[in-house]
Amino acid sequence: MKRFAANPLMTTSISLGGLLLGWQLLVKVGGYNTFILPLPLEVWAAFIDSLQAGILQRHTLITLGEVLPGAIIGCSLAAVLGYLLAKSPLAERLVGPYLIASQAIPIIAVAPLLTLWIPSTYWSRVTVAVLVVFFPVLVNMVTGLRSVSADLYDLMNSLHATRWQIFTKLELPAALPILLTGLRVGMTLSVIGALVGEFVQPRDVGLGFLLVTARYQFKTPLVFAVLLTLGAMALSMYGIVFLIEKRLLRWQMQR
């Protein structure tokens, strides 16, 4: 058991094999029509066919071109505003209630309005991704900065550190673990945001468009292939942040 836990590749392979076996048994034993729940091999065949036709790559690149700017802009805005809210109680009292209340509004209800306010189809989709990413990163930024001990601030002040030195040498390193946790969540949610933007902003490109088209054409295996592609994209975004976290916080992991 310890050997399996120490070998991530073996653990992942066993987990994936169990998932595929359970999927196969569910279709066979449950008596599901493959039109409703296709077999894993049918999904794989649809995936390969779409790759050979160049369809999946083209739509994936379009969606990825919306996800990455949405994630970067959303994380950047959240980090800046989070710092201001953590440092200014007045700003938190003025802005905080509106930010919290905004989370009660489903993004699917706001997205159609963005298509009216923003003429560009591309930027309206990116904006939806920004909104989805923004709040989790903001909360983690505020939480991370407020977790810094007051004694450490006293130490930095006794050394006559400047505001920039306090931020780079104390606040940022102390808040980084919590901030990167928010980034992992935010980068994953950016895929959902871009997909919602593609649903409400019609355009003949993007994985959202391909997903809707496959559903209307009753190509269920292709629907599953697109869903698996979206899952792989989210995992890739999560993995990138994890690698960054592993490098930046290697001192903490070694400890």
Domains of the chain: residue spans and CATH: 40-254 (1.10.3720.10)
Scanning the chain, the segments in alpha helix (DSSP H) are 2-6, 8-30, 40-52, 55-87, 89-102, 107-117, 121-146, 150-158, 163-166, 172-200, 207-216, 220-248, 250-254
pLDDT, residue 142, reads 86
How far is 97 from 85, CA to CA, in rounded Å? 12
pLDDT, residue 73, reads 93
**Which residues lie closer than 8 Å to 143 by C-beta, 6 or more apart?**
178
pLDDT, residue 251, reads 60
Residue 32: what are its φ and ψ, rounded to 5°? -75, 140
pLDDT, residue 161, reads 81
Q: Do 219 and 35 form a contact (C-beta atoms < 8 A)?
A: no
Start-to-end CA distance of the chain, whole Å, equals 25
* Closest by CA position to 66, among listed 199, 235, 191, 233: 191
Mean pLDDT by groups of 10 residues along the chain of 255 residues:
57 78 80 80 89 90 91 90 86 82 81 83 88 88 83 82 83 83 86 86 82 87 91 89 81 56
Show the tokens assigned to 73. 């802009």
pLDDT, residue 225, reads 92
Show the tokens assigned to 41. 């091999």
In this structure, the number of other CB atoms found within 10 A of the CB of residue 78 comes to 25
Q: Which residue has the tokens 């450490």?
A: 152
pLDDT, residue 226, reads 92
How far is 165 from 149, CA to CA, in rounded Å? 16
The C-alpha R_g of the chain, in whole angstroms, comes to 22
How far is 171 from 156, CA to CA, in rounded Å? 11
* Closest by CA position to 82, among listed 234, 189, 186: 186
* Closest by CA position to 182, among listed 64, 65, 82: 82
**Residue 167 DSSP class:** I
Q: Do 212 and 199 form a contact (C-beta atoms < 8 A)?
A: yes
How far is 129 from 71, CA to CA, in rounded Å? 7
